[in-house]
Amino acid sequence: MKKQLLIASVALAFVLAACGTPDNGSGFEQEKINVYTRDTSSGTRDGFMKGIGFGEASSDDSVLVSGFITNNNAAIMTAMTTDIAGIGYVSLSSVNNTIKPLKFEGVDATEANVLNNTYGLKRPFVWMRRVDGDFASDVERDLTLAFIGFMESNDGADVINDAGATAVNGTGNWADLVSSYPVCALDNSSVTLNFGGSDSITKVAEALSAAFSPRCGNVVTVNNHTGSSDGYKRSQGDEKDGINGMHIGYSSRPFTDAEKVGPETTRGQLAWDAIVAIVHKSNPVDNVTGDQLTRIYKGELATWGDVIND
């Protein structure tokens, strides 16, 4: 019995000793910044890290400040409602009044500022289709055009917004537009449309495919997302006629000049993916710059005082 008591008390002492040293200051400026991040497979993390100019952190945990917390979107939101010293980031679509969104480089994170191009912490979701003479059949071409029509309709915009991005188009209701695409009145269940490109756009793209199919003769859709550079390569570039060739390729960055070879009508933007740095509501900080965020995530700005006095 004595021995067990000894073991238990040693364990207890161990636990108490490991509790860590409390910090001495009382004011907010002394608060250590608790850094929250998504895990390395997250597209939001990729967009955020590249957006603030800390691209190497998009897939590398070891360059981040020690003691950072990895969690999903919902958990980061919840944490910011309790942790007064925390900072995290979420998609603009997740922002609500339980947390405080920070301005980025002085600009409020609102849908309007995203669409008028003043809010900077964002990246474009763009698409590129095969050029006109390049389809295996007229039906495939008509279906591709119908898909683009759907993507740019109000219904498509709803799908995009529901999937977490900010749609840039909204040309009318699909119910009114569908008559311009007679191919959708046919049974298309034997035709397959192939999509691919950027993997951070997967969720939006798959939601669009799933919503489009029943609205256009049950056309079969296949989404195979491998990376932004394949968006061009497999729709208009040198892989377009290989086994990975596709009808529409997505990219989560603007197309480069080298990629803009086809006619302008064969590409466009469907959405913005805006990301917002968020903190606790009681946090006095209102605005951050990309450089500050980079230094916070690196650990160079360790307390909130460092940020306020920066």
Partner 1 sequence: MGSKSLSRVDRITYFLLTIVGLISASFIVFISIFIALKGVLPFLTDNLGLGSVSLFKFLTQTVWLNGPTFVSTAYGAGFLIVNTLYIAFLSLLISFPIGVLTALFIAKIAPKKIAGILRTIIELLSAIPSIVYGLVGVGFFLPIIYSLARSLGYSSSGGSGTLATVFVLALMSIPTITSISEVSIRSVDQSIEHASLALGATFTQTRFKITLLAAKSGIFSGAILAIGRSLGEATAVSLVAGNARSGPTFGLFDITSTITSTMLTGLKETQGIDYDIRFSLGIVLMVVILLTNMILNYIKKKVGNVHA
Binding residues vs partner 1 (CB under 8 A): 11, 14-15, 18-20, 22-24, 31-32, 34, 36, 39-42, 56, 59-62, 66-71, 75, 78-80, 82-83, 85-86
The minimum distance between CB 97 and partner 1, in angstroms, equals: 18
Q: Which two tokens stand for residue 37?
A: 């991040």
d(CA 257, CA 267): 13
Cβ proximity to partner 1: between 66 and 97 the closer is: 66
Cβ proximity to partner 1: between 174 and 297 the closer is: 297
The minimum distance between CB 61 and partner 1, in angstroms, equals: 5
Cβ proximity to partner 1: between 85 and 186 the closer is: 85
φ and ψ of 218, to 5 deg = 55, 40
Cβ proximity to partner 1: between 120 and 227 the closer is: 227
d(CA 301, CA 68): 13
The minimum distance between CB 68 and partner 1, in angstroms, equals: 7
Cβ proximity to partner 1: between 28 and 135 the closer is: 28
Residue 269: CA count within 13 A, CB half-sphere = 15
Helix (H, G, I), strand (E, B) or coil at 283: coil
The minimum distance between CB 60 and partner 1, in angstroms, equals: 4
Helix (H, G, I), strand (E, B) or coil at 11: helix
Q: What is the four-CA torsion angle of 236, 241, 247, 249, rounded to 10 degrees? A: -50
The minimum distance between CB 158 and partner 1, in angstroms, equals: 24
d(CA 246, CA 192): 10
